[in-house]
């Protein structure tokens, strides 16, 4: 439900307790009349199944309904799980059923963004453990893309992935490493990596579309609500006209 500041939309944003990137990234993209409200769920380990992930989310789902939001944004990338598209669809359906709201998932948003920018052959930067590489590649292949190069930047400490501690210079270097001649789209997944603030400069340097997952997620959420308007200086995706938004099932 809109309010005095969120005159166009009040968004609830669901993230792991360890995530320190989604909130500032989405705030940097926030248009007038839209407010974001972050709700965090416990994240004691990298969930291996959607059932475990939904279990962890339950307290935050209950809390976020108190602010009567208009829409729910899930700031989480499950591409490290097998059959990630199906996982994301299940998460969305479960969240819609629990909240009664429309839901934007990062997974669906990334696919929509890649299609909107006509990207087909990808260079991917991610923070997942190396053993998840096959799942990430399979996911994007199943969505109709080719994966030409991938950089895995997992930083494991005490059994967790602390991707927020990976610095911007390392992210820049990873994008350069996957910028092969035959790549037509550069993608970052894993919502706790710094990337949204680097998109414009990387596109200017590398000459190709750069899609940061948090940018894609917010772009897609605004598009679903009919609230996206082109924004200069935040990369090609945010500069697209509203009619270029590609809906996903």
Question: Is CATH 3.20.20.70 the right assignment for the domain spanning 9-109+215-231?
Answer: no
In whole angstroms, what is the distance from residue 26 CA to residue 39 CA?
Answer: 13
Task: Determine the pLDDT at residue 131.
Answer: 87
Domain with CATH 3.40.50.1860 in the chain: 9-109+215-231
How far is Cα 77 from Cα 161, in angstroms, rounded to an integer? Answer: 13
pLDDT tens, 200-225? Answer: 999 999 999 999 999 999 999 999 99
Q: Could you tell me the two tokens for 34? A: 């839209």
Instruction: Give the pLDDT confidence score for residue 157 in this predicted structure.
Output: 53
Mean per-residue pLDDT, 16-34: 96
By DSSP bridging, strand 71-74 and strand 9-16 are: parallel
Domain with CATH 3.40.50.12500 in the chain: 119-213
pLDDT tens profile 235-249: 999 999 864 444 444
- pLDDT tens for 76-91 read 999 999 999 999 999 9
- Give the CATH number of domain 119-213: 3.40.50.12500
């Amino acid at each position: 439900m809109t309010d005095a500041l969120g005159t166009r939309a009040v968004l609830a944003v669901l993230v792991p307790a360890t995530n320190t990137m989604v909130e500032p990234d989405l705030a940097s993209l926030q248009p007038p009349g839209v407010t974001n409200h972050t709700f965090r769920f416990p994240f004691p380990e990298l969930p291996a199944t959607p059932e475990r992930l939904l279990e962890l989310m339950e307290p935050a789902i209950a809390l976020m309904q108190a602010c009567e939001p208009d829409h729910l944004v899930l700031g989480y990338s499950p591409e490290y799980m097998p059959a990630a598209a199906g996982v994301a669809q299940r998460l969305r359906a479960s969240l819609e059923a629990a909240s009664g709201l429309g839901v934007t998932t990062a997974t669906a948003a990334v696919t929509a963004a890649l299609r909107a920018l006509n990207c087909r052959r990808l260079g991917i930067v991610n923070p997942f453990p190396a053993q998840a590489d096959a799942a990430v590649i399979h996911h994007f292949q199943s969505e109709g893309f080719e994966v030409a190069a991938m950089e895995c930047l997992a930083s494991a400490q005490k059994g967790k992935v602390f991707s927020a501690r990976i610095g911007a210079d390392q992210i820049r270097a990873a994008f350069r490493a996957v910028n092969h001649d035959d790549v037509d789209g550069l993608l970052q997944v894993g919502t706790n990596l710094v990337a949204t603030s680097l998109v414009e400069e990387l596109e200017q340097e590398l000459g190709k579309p750069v899609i940061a997952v948090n940018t894609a997620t917010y772009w897609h959420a605004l598009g679903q609500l009919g609230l996206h308007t082109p924004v200069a200086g935040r990369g090609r995706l945010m500069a697209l006209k509203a009619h270029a938004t590609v809906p996903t099932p």
